Amino acid sequence: MADSVWCASLADGKTPDLGRGSVVGGTGISINAMRRIDRMVGVPLCFLMTIALKVLWKFHRRSPRPIRRILFIELSEMGSTILADPAMRKASQKTGAENYFVIFARNVDSLAVTGTVDRRNVFTIRTNSLWHVAVDAMAFLFWTRRHAIDTVVDFELFSRFTGLLTGLSGADRRIGFYRFNSEGLYRGDLLTHRVAYNPHIHIAKNFIALVNALLSDSASIPYSKEVIDDGEITLPIHPAPAMAQRAALSRIKSLVTVPNAARLRVVLINPNAGEMLPQRRWMPGRFVELARRILAAHDDVLVLITGAPHEREEAEKLAAQCGSNRCVAVAGSFALPELPALFSIATLMVTNDSGPAHFAAASGLPTIVLFGPETPELYKPLGNPTVIYAGLACSPCVSVSNHRKSACTDNICMKAIGVDQVFSAASGVLTRYSKPLDFSAARKGASAAPSLTVAKGGR
């Protein structure tokens, strides 16, 4: 699934240490520490708050306010803001309510990809330290009351922290996933609308189920006893504005030294994955081999290796191993809000199962996504990506019940994906589609950006 940050790429071809704890973005509270705190502190707090709030609600009953301001909670997963977009759009369309959102500060730029939530309606929580988390959590409780939030939809999968935020929000309607008879997923009884998480349908449909519970005319245990059609999880294409695309073209031009590069097609390679689940990484050496084969087979292709600023050095090593001036590292050259512009002028992206795959889906970029410890049946990007998945007996090894933490230290599920298989899929896309760069657009300030065309024989 989508990750909170892009993980450091490895250029030496060695398998990463998959068992170590990791620090989010290199600073702040580590993922493993967050999980421990959520379990050890969250469980007793949820128990105590359930008792306290049930007593309070018993003696301070009030009629629910009309649905006018809906707050959605999704803290730690950038790509989930894309996967949740159909649910948020349905909620606002059906109720006419204004959407609000709470998210970790480091992930807030992901909301700009679709623009479904006004930036002024977003509350952020810092994760630099436990002190910042505590201070911002208290500020959140005042913020929800100042904005008269009447409804909360918690998209997180059994997080005790978000369960507490939901219960203490002051909202009349509190919708989220409830464990019912499941073991080990306790987070109190603070919801008014309890929905059973379904591990057999796509996560975007699970998010729709939460909104359906809100829209239900009568109470039910559990809520959302209805079919969710595939058509409900479609994602509108959000191409970047022409001005942003021209800026991306200018930046690429400044980084590329290829003679006569004006009509090259861009293939993006994202060799990174999230620190939350490093087992999702395909082997760096295989990305290098894939890039070499694409460049050898297509002399009109420019390969750009993407990543975050702290991944620049490793991305440059990967590009150097490709042995071509048509393979360039652009890690750190594009900030997260600028990625839609890069995706809008590219022809193809090959990526691990990570946040950029979901951002690319929102931009309409043809994307090949490599899955291993998670299943594409639940987490593939919306739209029509090409998914490659070995489907080993041990995979998927992460789920809600283990809080998406795998014991695996040897990701055979990713090693089982061969370069031949990925290259074949990439060649198929490059044969069907053509979106050459047009540096003249950047130079002249043209109003139109390069458009995707389907090659002869394509569909």
User: What mean pLDDT do residues 296-308 have?
Assistant: 92
Q: What average pLDDT does this structure show over 127-135?
A: 92
pLDDT at 442: 53
Residue 99 has pLDDT above 70, yes or no: yes
* pLDDT of residue 309 exceeding 50: yes
pLDDT-based confidence at residue 165 (cuts at 50, 70, 90):
very high
Instruction: Give the pLDDT of residue 190.
Output: 95
Which domains are seen in the chain, by residue range?
29-233 (3.40.50.2000), 242-454 (3.40.50.2000)
For 108-127, the pLDDT digits (tens) are 988 988 889 999 999 999 99
Q: Average of pLDDT values for 434-454?
A: 53
Q: Judge whether residue 230 has pLDDT over 50.
A: yes
The pLDDT of residue 261? 65
Q: Is the pLDDT of residue 273 over 80?
A: no
pLDDT mean across residues, the chain? 85
| Contacts by 87-94, CB closer than 8 A, 24 or more apart | 87/153, 87/155, 87/204, 87/207, 87/208, 87/210, 87/211, 88/116, 88/117, 88/211, 89/116, 90/208, 90/211, 90/232, 91/153, 91/211, 91/214, 91/215, 92/116, 94/211, 94/215
Q: Read off the pLDDT of residues 237-259 as tens digits, 9 standing for 90 and up.
A: 888 888 988 898 888 888 888 77
Whether the predicted pLDDT of 443 surpasses 70 = no
Which contacts (CB < 8 Å, 24+ apart) does range 178-187 have? 178/222, 180/222, 182/401, 183/401, 184/401, 185/158, 185/400, 185/401, 186/43, 186/46, 186/47, 187/42, 187/43, 187/46, 187/158, 187/159, 187/160, 187/163
| Residues 288-300, mean pLDDT to the nearest whole number | 95
**Which of 285-294, 417-426, 444-453 comes out lowest in average pLDDT?**
444-453
Provide, rounded to the nearest whole percent, the portion of the chain with pLDDT above 70.
Answer: 88
pLDDT in tens, 15-44: 333 333 333 344 577 777 888 888 889 899
| pLDDT over 70 (residue 183) | yes
Q: 8: pLDDT confidence band, cut at 50, 70 and 90?
A: very low
Whether pLDDT at 447 is above 60: no
| 348-381: pLDDT as tens digits | 999 999 888 999 988 899 999 999 988 999 999 9
